[in-house]
Amino acid sequence: MKTVIIKYNAGNVQSVMYALDRIGVDYLYTDDEAEIRSADKVIFPGVGEASTTMSYLREKGLDKIIPSLKQPVLGTCVGMQLMCRFSEENNTTCMGIFDVDVKRFPATPGIKVPHMGWNNITNYKSDLTKDLIDNAYVYFVHSYAAPVCEYTVATCDYINPFSAMLHKDNFHAAQFHCEISGDVGQKILENFLKL
Amino acid sequence: MLTKRIIPCLDVKDGRTVKGVNFVNLRDAGDAVELGALYAAQGADELVYLDIAATVEGRSTFIDLVRRVAHTINIPFTVGGGISSIADVSALLHAGADKVSINSSAVRNPDLINELALEFGSQCIVVAIDTRYVETSAGVFEHIVHTHGGRKPTELRTIPWAKEVEERGAGELLLTSMDTDGTKNGFALELTSTISANANIPVIASGGAGNMEHFYDVFTEGKADAGLAASIFHFREIDIPDLKQYLQNKALPMRMTK
């Protein structure tokens, strides 16, 4: 099996690589189109800001390559947000795989934004959440989120319910960081790699 | 529901934990990786590793340790000690740290916070503030930021400094009260509460934990988002699973792993 982590100007993807090491999976970290297209599984991680990241993806043509992929793709955190239609973060047009707009958490007295830390997810209906305990806790760090929509396969509640995970055809996405979400995150990654 | 976080802190020197550690079931109690893995397995929500020597020679050993920790554990961890440049942060993040904590260097050069937030994103920039309630030259008592492990007073008042570092782009505050640190009489509740209520970023409270109730107090009265402690965990005066169960029984949101 060939697993590719898409290389772009994302912040630290080291922890994603280490998570795959722990599972015992080899991976290639690349932005080469042929390598990406020939992979069995593609991981699109993300730490960063939406507009600069989208510009970079456009420069490299990755904004066209990613939506055209046929194999299972997993986007995480900002990776998930960039797979949506639009992000309020610097009013960024994204790749539009999921027809939903990413919005900033509304300012709410006494509640901090970013949403940072461990929160539970509910209403799972994804192959990636198979065999997960109910109300599993995963680690989030984000100020923007996709609302609950037709592609939502797991929800989380912070100020409002939002999409913790999305799924459409071969595209899967998680707002949280699977790679540092303990045994739960590891299980989700393993489930993705087994697709 | 977003949970309150329990964070053990490991002081390391030359890649090994320095504070005495009383875990009989560890093969090597000084092994900072093994101890971190044990805490992670027990349900710690995050870890903090502090390079207390932070010498130039020790830096590569510390980076090697960070790499081994990142390889081993599957929860977030923060590293700190002697970080003063973009290059330092880059090396630590590339080794696999999730966040870095800066302290004296932020006091010396506050623009560093802006630069790091811009370069790496606020989410991975923790600003540590060591504070002490002291009599100022004006003859009044105030909370004043200290550096050098709390020994050296600065000109900065703690409450406005906390706001300033947030405005400059810090993603989290690690507030250590040097007045309560080591006393085991509880966290500095009033100051933590004031700073947390003023902040729109999470506040990790540190210094003074002696029993489980102290954590309850800092999460309720102190309004802290996370509680950090070192020796009470290392000496097993409090076991993390017991602490989390206790807090959950008192209706605080906790991530229970068992």
Tokens matching residue B18? 């320095």
Q: CB B74 to CB A11 under 8 A?
A: no
Q: CATH topology for B5-249? A: TIM Barrel (3.20.20)
User: Once rounded to an integer, what is the mean pLDDT over residues B48-73?
Assistant: 87
Q: Which CATH superfamily is domain A3-193 in?
A: Class I glutamine amidotransferase (GATase) domain (3.40.50.880)
Average pLDDT, whole number, for chain A? 94
Nearest by Cα to A70 from A169, A4, A189, A188: A169
Nearest by Cα to A112 from B107, B66, B123, B92: B123
CA dist B93 and B70 (Å) reads 10
* Max Cα–Cα distance, chain B, nearest Å: 54
Greater confidence (A78 vs B7) lies with B7
pLDDT of residue B151: 84
pLDDT of residue A162: 98
Report pLDDT digits (tens) over A74-127.
999 999 999 999 999 989 999 999 999 999 999 999 899 889 999 999 999 999
CA dist B144 and B135 (Å) reads 9
Q: CA of A136, closest CA in chain B: separation in Å?
A: 9
Domain ranges of chain B: 5-249
pLDDT of residue B26: 56
Residue of A94, A142, A167, A179 marked active site: A179
Identify the weakest region by mean pLDDT among A184-193, B3-12, B27-36, B213-222. B27-36
Greater confidence (B51 vs A166) lies with A166
Among B residues 80-119, those touching chain A with beta carbons less than 8 Å apart: 93-98
Which of B2, B125, B228 should be substituted to probe chain A, the one whose Cβ sees the most A Cβ atoms within 10 Å? B2
Query: Does B225 touch chain A if contact means CB atoms closer than 8 Å?
Result: yes
pLDDT of residue A38: 98
CA dist B10 and B137 (Å) reads 35
Report pLDDT digits (tens) over B161-180.
999 999 999 999 999 999 99
A156 is catalytic: no
Q: CA of A31, closest CA in chain B: separation in Å?
A: 18
Tokens matching residue B183? 């006393």
Nearest to A48 among B71, B97, B121 (CB): B121
User: Once rounded to an integer, what is the mean pLDDT over residues A66-76?
Assistant: 97
For residue B182, is pLDDT > 90?
no
Q: CB A21 to CB B71 under 8 A?
A: yes
Q: Quick one: what percent of chain B has pLDDT higher than 70?
A: 94
CA dist A124 and B233 (Å) reads 35
Is residue A149 a contact partner of residue B35, using CB atoms and an 8 Å limit? no
Count how many Cα atoms sit within 13 Å of the Cα of residue B93 in the half-sphere of its side chain: 23
Judged by DSSP in three states, A49 sits in coil
Nearest to A158 among B2, B95, B98 (CB): B2
Q: Quick one: what percent of chain A has pLDDT higher than 90?
A: 86
Question: What's the DSSP call for residue B183?
Answer: T
Q: What number is the ipTM of this complex? A: 0.92
pLDDT of residue B225: 98
Greater confidence (B57 vs A133) lies with A133
CA dihedral B23, B24, B26, B30 (to 10 degrees): 60
pLDDT of residue A46: 81
Nearest to A186 among B2, B74, B97 (CB): B74
For residue B20, is pLDDT > 70?
no
Is residue A37 a contact partner of residue A76, using CB atoms and an 8 Å limit? no
Q: CA of B71, closest CA in chain A: separation in Å?
A: 5
| Band of pLDDT at residue A12, cut at 50, 70 and 90 | low
In sequence order, what DSSP letters do the residues of B128-164 get, joined into one string?
Answer: EEEEEEEE-TTS-EEEEEEETTTTEEEEEEHHHHHHH
In sequence order, what DSSP letters do the residues of A70-82 get, joined into one string?
Answer: -S-EEEETHHHHH
Distance of CA A136 to the CA centre of its chain: 17
Greater confidence (B30 vs A84) lies with A84
Q: CA of A182, closest CA in chain B: separation in Å?
A: 5
pLDDT of residue B257: 85
pLDDT of residue A60: 93
Specify the pTM.
0.94
CA dist A85 and A173 (Å) reads 14
Residue of B nearest to A181 (CA): B75
CA dist A30 and B76 (Å) reads 25
Count of CB contacts below 8 A, A vs B? 89
Domain ranges of chain A: 3-193
Backbone angles phi, psi at B129, to 5 degrees: -125, 120
Tokens matching residue A136? 């599993």
Rg of chain B, C-alpha, whole Å: 17
For residue A153, is pLDDT > 90?
yes
Catalytic residues of B: 11, 130
Greater confidence (A75 vs B22) lies with A75
| Band of pLDDT at residue A52, cut at 50, 70 and 90 | confident
Report pLDDT digits (tens) over A154-187.
999 999 999 999 999 999 999 999 999 999 999 9
Determine how β-strand A115-122 pairs with β-strand A144-145.
unpaired
User: Once rounded to an integer, what is the mean pLDDT over residues A20-37?
Assistant: 96
Among B residues 1-40, those touching chain A with beta carbons less than 8 Å apart: 1-3, 5, 40
